[in-house]
Amino acid sequence: MLQIYAACAVRGCSKRCMRQNEACASTTRCAARIEVTLEKIYTTNVETEFGVFRLAATSKGIVYLDLPNACGRGFPSWVERHARGAKCILNHEVTQIYVHELQEYFAGTLRKFTIPLDLRATIFQRAVYRELQCVPYGKTCTYGELAAHIGNPKAMRAVGTANAMNPIPIIIPCHRVVAAGGKLGGYAGGRELKERLLALESKQFSLSC
């Protein structure tokens, strides 16, 4: 009887060990899958006469552009909200195409960006950003006009909020939106940067006329 009990105990232990091993193997496989599918975000700094911009891009396109002296929590906050767990990698080669166009823009030789965007935004924000990209180089529009263009003329405050949350400024040109009555309005990068960007575009636009 004692031998039978001992044998059963051994079999029970074996079953428990097998279950534990299977659980460990399953956890390992899951961890491996997570490691393989972990999103990669490539970053670099873009040095210009307007300041240093931090650029971030995925294999699909640019996802974020941090303005010099920008207010708010910036890139770390964006990652936490839109790309939690992503692996950020400093890489100058992958980001070179984005750096090149930005440098051309700041030099006054580029008016329309052609680089791909990996935009992460709400449906409303996407509507605002599409219209922003239609505002011509060297021109401006008001928050009210922008709201009307997206079919919601009463949404001026919401449009302003969307502008403030724009993850890819310059390329999505929220600096071209001004307040009614000719006032400059706010800008995440500060009033001085907005004035300089508008002056750059206005100067180059005038030279081409």
Separate counts of helices (H) and strands (E) for the chain: 7, 6
Please state the three-class secondary structure of 60-128 as a single string: CCEEEEECCCCCCCHHHHHHHHHCCCCEEEECCCCCHHHHHHHHHHHCCCCCCCCCCECCCCCHHHHHH
pLDDT for the residue 2: 40
pLDDT for the residue 182: 79
Q: Is 131 exposed, middle or buried (0-12, 13-18, 19+ CB in 10 A)?
A: buried
Which has the closest alpha carbon to 156: 186, 120, 197?
186
8 A C-beta contact, residue 53 and residue 67: yes
- The pTM assigned to this predicted structure is 0.79
Digits of tens for pLDDT over the chain (209 positions)? 444 434 444 445 455 545 555 554 454 454 444 444 689 999 999 999 999 999 999 999 999 999 997 765 689 999 999 999 999 999 999 999 999 999 999 999 999 999 999 999 999 999 999 999 999 999 999 999 999 999 999 999 999 999 999 999 999 999 999 999 878 998 989 999 999 999 999 987 555 54
The catalytic site residues sit at 174
- The rounded distance, in Å, linking the Cα atoms of 185 and 142 is 9
pLDDT for the residue 54: 94
**DSSP category for residue 136:** P
Please state the φ and ψ torsions of residue 80, each to the nearest 5 degrees: -60, -35
